[in-house]
Amino acid sequence: MAISEHSRHQLYNRLEELLGGEEAATLMAHLPPVGWADVATKRDVDMLAIELRGEMASLRAEVRGEIAALRGEFGELRGEFGALRAEVSGLKSEWRGELQSQMRTQLVQLLGIQIAAAGVFASIVRLF
């Protein structure tokens, strides 16, 4: 049977008639505000604590597993970045060599053009 506020008030009024106002209030203060079926016992709380500890341990294990997986993935990424770094370093050296070769070729060509231009200029000066 559910206890309503109306039935609680009736009980208080009857207790007040029998015991007096102060005693009725003291007795009503010791009654739960809801039905006894809704009151948790120490055993209920202990069972919930055990259940909660189990769930927390399960979550802890799951989080640790995920962290271990992330560490493995980070290790793989480090390896990939190391390989990329080596590849970029190799390309950089290769490009540096090609650039130096092209610069030498251009320098020789420019020197040849300047020598030819000097020869043409000298010929023009002799003609006049």
| 24: containing domain | 1-39
Percentage of residues of the chain with pLDDT beyond 90: 68
Place of tokens 């995920």: 66
Rounded Cα–Cα distance for residues 21 and 48 (Å): 39
- Do 111 and 59 have their domain in common? yes
Rounded Cα–Cα distance for residues 80 and 98 (Å): 27
Summarize pLDDT for 75-96 with one digit per residue, the tens: 999 999 999 999 999 999 999 9
pTM of the model: 0.47
- Do 53 and 113 have their domain in common? yes
Summarize pLDDT for 23-32 with one digit per residue, the tens: 988 988 888 7
> Is 80 exceeded by the pLDDT of residue 122?
yes
Q: Report the number of distinct structural domains present in the chain.
A: 2
- Do 30 and 67 have their domain in common? no
- Do 46 and 102 have their domain in common? yes
- Do 23 and 52 have their domain in common? no
Backbone conformation region of residue 40, classed left if phi is above 0, alpha if psi is from -120 to 50, else beta: beta
